[in-house]
Amino acid sequence: MVEVLESSFVVPSEPTVTETLRLSNIDQVAPPVHVGFVYFYQGNQAKDFFSVETLKASLSRTLVLLYPLAGRCVVGQDGRKEINCNAEGCLFVAARSDLTSDEIKFEPSSELQKLFLPSADFPESLSLLVMIQVKTTIY
């Protein structure tokens, strides 16, 4: 069972460059897909080990330097895919689960994807460059 606690957009903490970046010819023919990565970290007894606010603040500062990631993939006037560096932000989902790593069957499946990756089932999701979901286990 996964419970979504929060879903929001994290934007750069400071103003960034507003520009349009043209994508390569290879990017023009590649289908728009998101690639999922899952990382596990062993918690410790510290009360603030999993601080959603700290993670969001860090991401916000990072997006100042990596500002294209806070933009959107769009189709330009000439029909080419571009990144609109507009600082609209990254999707950030905080969730929790009562499952332990011993209870999870680590085989590729749609169930595993639903458990660990943010949902990309809304129309604007293909324009997002980064979607992050952080999850903690309830003990």
CATH number of the domain that residue 18 is part of: 3.30.559.10
Q: d(Cα 37, Cα 132) in Å, to the nearest integer?
A: 9
Asked if residue 33 is part of any domain, the answer here is no
Give a yes or no: residue 36 inside a domain: no
Kindly report the pTM of this predicted structure: 0.83
Number of domains in the chain: 1
Nearest to 56 by CA among 94, 26, 27: 94
Q: What are the pLDDT digits (tens) for 72-97?
A: 999 999 999 999 999 999 999 888 87
The per-residue pLDDT for range 58-74, each reduced to its tens digit, is 999 999 999 999 999 99
| Domain-embedded: residue 111 | yes
